[in-house]
Chains A and B, each alone.
Chain A
Amino acid sequence: MSAQEVLDREFLEIRARILKIAASLDRIERSDSPPADPARMALIREGLELLLKDSPGRAKNVQLLFSLPYSPDWPAALGVPVGKKG
């Protein structure tokens, strides 16, 4: 499929999803105190900014943004004997 064909197919869906996010953010803003968790709100803001970057892999980058980090030292940190089997 050409890029134009994909856009034709996806345009209304994208529009609907942007509206959904906009309405969700409005809903949070007009809600009573206490205010929403600033750390999670910052994550959402960062996620939206990722979408505007002109680079491939947006879905992967959003996934990583909402992920905890991985440490290769986890076996020692947890005290789990990993490796050297077999």
Chain B
Amino acid sequence: MDYFDPHIHMVSRTTDDYATLARMGCVGMSEPAFWAGFDRGSAESFRDYFRQLTEFERSRAAAYGIAHYTWLCINAKEAENVSLSREVIAMIPEFLDRPNVLGIGEIGLNKNTKNESIVFLEHLELAAKFDELILIHTPHLHDKYPGTRMILDMLQGDSRLQPQRVLVDHVEEHTIGEVLDRGFWAGMTLYPVSKCTPARAADMVEQFGTERLCVNSAGDWGPSQPTAVPNFIFEMRRRGHSEATIRRVVYDNPLAFFSQCRRFHFQPRA
């Protein structure tokens, strides 16, 4: 089955991973800007990173027939450095007209601090000013529940932002309901230990339906499986779900969300 992985960090993966994903049916992916595993020292590091996301990864994916899209931001972990964050946010408009840029992301909170909240709000200001889609990172483990609620409060505090143009990622059982109820898109991240498993993601599809719901691997430099979306497809098939239901979650939904971006262009396989 053709599928999209709407959240995967390919800068951390090998070219062999592109080949494997292509063989498993991946036809498109979106790569949010995120933390490199260490705090970067200057805004110029981000300029190079944004070039990598908008130029190099796009061509690396294309060699395997995969359409590569991306999101730009400074991530929540580095947002503690407010002055660096402001320099990066000021630079982002230089890249917003690149053809594979979908919007601002993944922005959000990490430890739910004041500085993270301030930088998050400044990213929202940027998204509103340039009418960009938004991809949200929600915190990990015990910070996820309050952090997700704080993020939703900030999003809904700005009437310029439309919920249907925001995808809130890394939802789990205790956050998915509120995200969908408030009209946002929701993404379930399939990780080996933290976040969500393919079986629990299938449980949430059964409980909440397929509307505005996506799954992703968030494959990165940590313990993660870039092939997690095919694992979800396999789990759904084992439970007897129709191909149309599965396709809606792994293909139709990401396409529908991305299609709201004025730059988005995708040619489906004939």
Contact = CB atoms under 8 A, between A and B. Distances in A.
Nearest to A9: B238
Interface residues of B, number: 31
B142 interface: yes
Nearest to A84: B157
A86 B118 contact: no
A1 B239 contact: yes
Given A82-B157, A83-B157, A86-B159, A64 B203 contact: no
Contacts of B143: 68
Query: What does DSSP make chain B's interface, helix, strand, loop or mixed?
Result: helix
Contact of A66 (B142, B153, B154, B238): B142
A67 B144 contact: yes
Given A67-B145, A74-B150, A80-B117, A85 B240 contact: no
A9 B202 CA distance: 15
A82 B154 contact: yes
B244 interface: no
A41 B154 CA distance: 35
A1 B121 CA distance: 45
A27 to B, nearest CB: 18
B172 interface: yes
In the A-B complex, the 5 residue pairs with the smallest Cβ-Cβ separation, listed nearest first, are: A86-B159, A83-B157, A67-B145, A63-B174, A86-B160
